[in-house]
Amino acid sequence: MNGADRLCDSLLAHGVDVCFANPGTSEMHFVAALDAKPAMRCILGLFEGVVTGAADGYGRMADRPAVTLLHTGPGLANGLANLHNARRARSPLINIVGDHASTHLKFDAPLTTDIEALARPMSDYVRRIGGPDDVEAGVQGAWRAAMAPGVATLILPADSAWGDAAATPLNKSSPPSPGKVDETKVRAAALALRKAPGRVGVLLGARALRADCVAIADRLRGAGVRVFGEMFIARMERGGARAPVERIPYPVDLALGLLAEIDVLVLVGARAPVAFFAYPGKPGALAREGCEIVELAGPLDDVKPALAALADELAVKRASPARATAALPEAPTQGPLTDEAMTLIAANLLPEGAIVCDEALTSMRNFFHVSQGSAPHDYLMLDTGGAIGAGIPAMVGAAVACPNRKVIGLQADGSGMYTVQGLWTMARENLDVVVIVFANRAYAILHHEMRNVGVNHFGRNARRMLNLDEPALDWVMLARGLGVEAGRAETCEEFTRLLKGALGRRGPFVIEAVVWGPDTTGT
Amino acid sequence: MNGADRLCDSLLAHGVDVCFANPGTSEMHFVAALDAKPAMRCILGLFEGVVTGAADGYGRMADRPAVTLLHTGPGLANGLANLHNARRARSPLINIVGDHASTHLKFDAPLTTDIEALARPMSDYVRRIGGPDDVEAGVQGAWRAAMAPGVATLILPADSAWGDAAATPLNKSSPPSPGKVDETKVRAAALALRKAPGRVGVLLGARALRADCVAIADRLRGAGVRVFGEMFIARMERGGARAPVERIPYPVDLALGLLAEIDVLVLVGARAPVAFFAYPGKPGALAREGCEIVELAGPLDDVKPALAALADELAVKRASPARATAALPEAPTQGPLTDEAMTLIAANLLPEGAIVCDEALTSMRNFFHVSQGSAPHDYLMLDTGGAIGAGIPAMVGAAVACPNRKVIGLQADGSGMYTVQGLWTMARENLDVVVIVFANRAYAILHHEMRNVGVNHFGRNARRMLNLDEPALDWVMLARGLGVEAGRAETCEEFTRLLKGALGRRGPFVIEAVVWGPDTTGT
């Protein structure tokens, strides 16, 4: 057996059985080894951003890593933006990056790059495999780092793959234990929260946004504690009778306004809230000056028992209050396809158990609020690291992780173009995804930001950089070119008909929703 | 004036007047400044790989840098693969990468990344601008590094862009002088070349592949010197009555065979030839053991006077021998669209002054040889760093640099999918490009490489990773979805008709050439 065989066997021994791949020459022995392991499901992405974004979506939904197969430094580089999102989302993920044989590096052949330098900024763990007999230790280290959770990157020199490896029995590592939260932190948090009922809150992040934790946090309301969620939600179980959380809004002024009322903020799996960008004259920290920030549990800690202990310490009721599903206004059945109309139609039609992948950005901004009244679902915000292009790939990964659930993708057009190649993977794997593309034909978010920096009149150069018109993208043709069925909606009737149709069948479908973008004259 | 205005003014003062851009929020002040400078042509790419690849193609043809506008670490990351190609090609290029305001970095906001770490492996020069009044020094340093030539990356913190800058008079730097080759090197090279006429050669790279240098090298043949070109040719002026060079072949065994006959190899703007990848049991250096390798001039040196001095030292004739255009076999007019038929049709129809952008990989492998007999043209091999996805973007950049010349793109389908978004930029800018996509529906090069490592029977996983079928990509639909006219050819008649039609008009056109790929059963 060679190192590549050993690599596959060790991955499988750790339960890693999905490989999102875009291979190249230095990985041929690994490809050959994968080919001999039908237990590993190999899924091709036509660009590495698709591969890493799919692994992110998979990790968020499966709570265990898929493995990516990337070709040397440039292949890794192509996947870095979505690895950045995955790292910020704390997704479990293992990358295998092929490299030249160790004996070949001295020649500085064209593909030679400093892979470690490229990997480190977007990885929690980086290791270069030191030979065929180092493969198993590499997988063990990477798997434990991935299960922390985090992003692990293994560099596989070609001669570590092709060299002979001893066929000793394989060991499965035990997953790392999440950090235990000790009593002093619980008491300190409770003490702080008692100071000003009604003006105190918990900020939930990471696993604290799963249904079991939100239910416990909901009990804290009985002690006058408000329940907030992070600005970027990696994954939240919500809808139906589940308790709501108030998400920290993206616009700085709204976030500052919301948190101006808060004297004490307890962090549960979250970090202290900060502005996404700096603006001249505005603060970077979103909590008000003088707000007391207390960390109960970090993103890698065991948040559920910490929350339960906090609830006990605050002596709130043992059970979460019974809740009715939030009110959901009826959807319009006809008329122009406004943002509000799309929001209501989609929220009303959301099937139970749906996985919503949200990279809508400026479209359907109210969807998170409205869909509190939808059927129970998982909600994933994709650009957790602020890198666009996560949407279509994450839909792929979520659908692979959960083949019996419907994935609903809310996709901005500008971001969707970054990794449009992912539609082909949906077609090939017949993934059960409805992609709603909001065709506003602009980087609408940048129109807003230009106004934020005081520019209200756009000239030719600004229009050429911020608008996606001349020519307009034809998403129906693009989808069909990539093998996915598609339709275009310009009215509520058309949108409802297409969405119902797509929900009533299996397999991928793209709906191009032609919506009013910003005034593209920029004036 | 603010730092961003200063940045634009300084770039324009250095003659940098094309900006390939994909902006984001942290670059809004730069966008506003660009908007106030109609002398700067801003060209949007819908993905950063398009932006950097276009700047590479532009730099190769213009011999001066365009500037890219990239959004923080992830935006840079998306462009790194083509920056890697550009750096290996020694293209002049300046990146401007926006970053958070310096005061905001401490918050580790979602988009925060180690931009320097990402930039260094693919840049010859990296500098973070230290404030609005440091902008001019940054541009001067970057421009000089770009003109070396090389890839320069400037990091622009948002507060360096929005802060006030003193409006002092702008200075234009002088370009760096190329390294002078001294007499001792010329004499050493001449001495070595005299040792074994017929078994000695010069290896031309970088600027030594321009027509004036090749003509001088051609004179050396009079002294029994063979004239070789690098494996990856960034740009070569050739065709018509120009002298040919023998390119070092990509397959290791062919390269070893060619160079087995060579006792002395003199490097002129080239590096010693090495295998693209290592293979078990094969050497990494391509020159035979014992071959004497002598560097006359490195890639940054002034190669033309060095070559002229070498010719004088060898006392060869003062003029290049008069040459007839190489023979070019007639093209078939009908029948199946074989690789040979496409090669001959394209070589015969190549218009004078065409710019050939070659990312065909396994298709038209014989085109370089055959097109020696075509009309005079420039020939660019795109994957100089081995990173695929350079093709469509480089065609964009070459067409922007040379608006009065026809760009002919030879594009593999797998590589083309990496940066397919570039077709939209061709449509928007009405660039004069014919893109011939070789639809073999496989990563055919990897089929060869699997056989190279001894795997001849492919199972399901290998087929799923190496084939692009199920479903087949529809390039005509894809092109139209991106606003580019397109047609499909399956016979010589159709291919000839479409190519003639595309050459006879202005503007972009895609020809999907459906060709026989490798046996996709892999057996």
Using the predicted structure, report yes or no on whether residue A1 has a pLDDT greater than 50.
yes
C-alpha to C-alpha distance for B117 and B124, rounded to whole angstroms = 13
Structure tokens at B267: 């490097």
**Which pLDDT does position B520 carry in this prediction?**
52
Encode pLDDT of A333-392 as tens digits: 999 999 999 999 999 999 999 999 999 998 999 999 999 999 999 999 999 999 999 999
State mean pLDDT over A273-293.
Answer: 95
Taking CA atoms, A325 is separated from A240, A356, B493, in Å, by: 5, 18, 65
Q: Which of B81, B420, B445 lies at the smallest CB-CB distance from A74?
A: B81
A-B interface: how many C-beta pairs under 8 angstroms? 323
Encode pLDDT of A154-189 as tens digits: 999 999 999 999 999 999 999 999 999 999 999 999
Using the predicted structure, report yes or no on whether residue A522 has a pLDDT greater than 60.
no
**Which pLDDT does position A519 carry in this prediction?**
62
**Residues in chain A within 8 Å Cβ distance of B384:** 110
Q: Which of B23, B36, B470 lies at the smallest CB-CB distance from A465?
A: B23
C-alpha to C-alpha distance for A365 and A284, rounded to whole angstroms = 23
**Residues in chain B within 8 Å Cβ distance of A414:** 46
**Which pLDDT does position A318 carry in this prediction?**
81
**Which pLDDT does position A134 carry in this prediction?**
98
Using the predicted structure, report yes or no on whether residue A523 has a pLDDT greater than 60.
no
Predicted interface score ipTM higher than 0.90? yes
Using the predicted structure, report yes or no on whether residue A103 has a pLDDT greater than 90.
yes
**Residues in chain B within 8 Å Cβ distance of A384:** 110
**Which pLDDT does position B402 carry in this prediction?**
98
Q: How many CB atoms lie within 10 A of CB A128?
A: 18
Encode pLDDT of A300-311 as tens digits: 999 999 999 999
**Which pLDDT does position B522 carry in this prediction?**
46
**Which pLDDT does position A521 carry in this prediction?**
52
**Residues in chain B within 8 Å Cβ distance of A458:** 35
Q: Which of B42, B52, B78 to mutate to test the interface with A (most CBs of A within 10 A)?
A: B78
**Residues in chain B within 8 Å Cβ distance of A117:** 117-118, 120-121
**Residues in chain A within 8 Å Cβ distance of B274:** 107-109
Tell if the CB–CB gap between A455 and B35 is shorter than 8 Å: yes
**Which pLDDT does position B258 carry in this prediction?**
97
C-alpha to C-alpha distance for B227 and B203, rounded to whole angstroms = 6
In chain A the domains, ranked by start, together with CATH numbers, are 3-162 (3.40.50.970), 183-313 (3.40.50.1220), 339-514 (3.40.50.970)
Using the predicted structure, report yes or no on whether residue A474 has a pLDDT greater than 90.
yes
**Which pLDDT does position B452 carry in this prediction?**
80
Closest CA to B205 of B332, B133, B83, B306: B306
Q: How confident is the model at residue A452 (pLDDT cuts 50, 70, 90)?
A: confident
Distance from the Cα of B275 to chain A's closest Cα (Å) equals: 7
State mean pLDDT over A459-469.
Answer: 93
**Residues in chain A within 8 Å Cβ distance of B475:** 481
The DSSP output letter for A179 is B
Tell if the CB–CB gap between B28 and A101 is shorter than 8 Å: no
Chain A residue closest in CA terms to B80: A77
Low-confidence ranges of chain B (pLDDT < 70): 517, 519-523
Chain A residue closest in CA terms to B160: A280
pTM of the prediction?
Answer: 0.98
Distance from the Cα of B184 to chain A's closest Cα (Å) equals: 26
* Averaged pLDDT of chain A: 96
Distance from the Cα of A113 to chain B's closest Cα (Å) equals: 6
Distance from the Cα of B437 to chain A's closest Cα (Å) equals: 14
* Averaged pLDDT of chain B: 96
Q: Which residue has the tokens 């014989």?
A: B366
Structure tokens at A485: 């069925």
C-alpha to C-alpha distance for A85 and A89, rounded to whole angstroms = 6
Tell if the CB–CB gap between B462 and A24 is shorter than 8 Å: no
Helix or strand or coil: residue B387?
coil
Chain A residue closest in CA terms to B39: A461
**Residues in chain A within 8 Å Cβ distance of B35:** 455, 458-462
Distance from the Cα of A264 to chain B's closest Cα (Å) equals: 19
Q: How many CB atoms lie within 10 A of CB B7?
A: 27
Structure tokens at B160: 């360096």
- Cα torsion A492, A495, A500, A501: sign: positive
Encode pLDDT of B293-302 as tens digits: 999 999 999 9
**Residues in chain A within 8 Å Cβ distance of B121:** 73, 113-114, 117-118
Q: Which of A110, A414, A418 lies at the smallest CB-CB distance from B88?
A: A110
Tell if the CB–CB gap between B78 and A81 is shorter than 8 Å: yes
Contact A181, A306 (CB under 8 A): yes
Contact A135, A143 (CB under 8 A): no
Name the CA dihedral angle for B447, B451, B452, B455, rounded to a multiple of 10 degrees: 120
Distance from the Cα of B75 to chain A's closest Cα (Å) equals: 7
Helix or strand or coil: residue B83?
helix
Tell if the CB–CB gap between B277 and A111 is shorter than 8 Å: yes
State mean pLDDT over A57-67.
Answer: 98
Q: Which of B8, B20, B25 to mutate to test the interface with A (most CBs of A within 10 A)?
A: B25
Q: Which of A118, A274, A461 lies at the smallest CB-CB distance from B109?
A: A274
Distance from the Cα of B319 to chain A's closest Cα (Å) equals: 35
Taking CA atoms, A432 is separated from A368, A409, A509, B459, B481, in Å, by: 22, 11, 8, 26, 23
Tell if the CB–CB gap between A386 and B114 is shorter than 8 Å: no
Q: How many CB atoms lie within 10 A of CB B430?
A: 12
**Residues in chain A within 8 Å Cβ distance of B285:** 107
Distance from the Cα of A471 to chain B's closest Cα (Å) equals: 6
Tell if the CB–CB gap between A108 and B274 is shorter than 8 Å: yes
Task: Give A107-154 as a DSSP string.
Answer: G--TT---HHHHHGGG-SEEEE--SGGGHHHHHHHHHHHHTTT-EEEE
Tell if the CB–CB gap between A28 and B384 is shorter than 8 Å: no
**Which pLDDT does position B264 carry in this prediction?**
98
Q: How many CA within 13 A on the CB side of residue B286?
A: 25
